[in-house]
Amino acid sequence: MKTEDLKSYFDANKELWNNKIDTHINSAFYDNASFLEGRNTLNPFEMEYLGDVSGKKILHIQCHFGQDSISLARMGAKVTATDISNKALEKARLFNTQCGTDVTFIETDTYHINNHVTDTFDIIFMSYGVKCWLPDMHKLASIVNSRLKPGGKVISVEFHPVLDMFDYPTQKIQYSYHNVHVYEEELEGTYADQHSELKGKEYFWQHSLDEVITPYIQLGMRMSAFKEYYHSPYNAFENVKEIEKGKYVYGDFPYPIPHVYLTEFTKE
């Protein structure tokens, strides 16, 4: 992919996320009021593997407006967080001050993290909607590996590529399981408020499990955990039903489909 093409995709996505920020902060989905009062926004999926983060240095990649970053800091971690959206980071820094935490927020696209971050970390954390904005998983793995201490871990919890194949309103397969090309779509609304009047264009990529796992193994990292989950902790799609409090299932299928997966790789 040409550098100029990738920059145009990233610039368009940055504009989209800048336009989303006010809607997201004011949405019931993010419930920012309870977060500012002390609610931890991390989910059981990732909490099981993050464990006790007190005193650990964590790099949180693509942090949006910082809820999870600040939640990690409240748990005692020393957090550095990155995002492409300058508008999101303006809010993140404001909330960081209001919460009395000490997160370092850095504006950068993920592929240029090494231009801005030279430290190494005990944990690198990526969650829910990171990889779809990046075309090259080998490049991501290389950057992650370079920022980990020996013995450090990268923990990634992400929407499952099987779930991502579906057109959510129709429940029909619309997208490839594999990374065949960039997708360009015009949006109306946003996952945090599907009835909002927000409009914009986005560019994204599909990634199979093979594609996201193999680069870390090729770099000599050890896969220390892999899990698949058959519900989502977020009501972020159309045609979703809540089967228990905080557990959402998409579609009407004869068998359960995976909604989320988690990987943990350890740098030897």
Spatial separation of the C-alpha atoms in residues 265 and 155, rounded to whole Å: 7
What is the residue-wise DSSP string for 189-217? Answer: SBTTBTTS--EEEEEE----HHHHHHHHH
Enumerate residues 6+ apart whose C-beta is below 8 A from 52: none
Task: Give 247's DSSP letter.
Answer: E
pLDDT band (50, 70, 90) for residue 215? very high
Spatial separation of the C-alpha atoms in residues 221 and 267, rounded to whole Å: 5
The burial class, CB within 10 Å (0-12 / 13-18 / 19+), for 3 is: exposed
Spatial separation of the C-alpha atoms in residues 74 and 63, rounded to whole Å: 15
Plot region of 86 (φ>0 → left; ψ -120 to 50 → alpha; else → beta): alpha
pLDDT tens figures, 157-194: 999 999 999 999 999 999 999 999 999 999 889 999 98
* Domains and their CATH numbers in the chain: 3-266 (3.40.50.150)
pLDDT band (50, 70, 90) for residue 80? very high
- Residues facing 200 on adjacent strands: 187
pTM of this structure: 0.96
pLDDT tens figures, 146-165: 999 999 999 999 999 999 99
Closest CA to 250 of 157, 165, 193, 174: 165
The whole-number average pLDDT for the span 54-77 is 98
**pLDDT at residue 2 greater than cutoff 80:** no
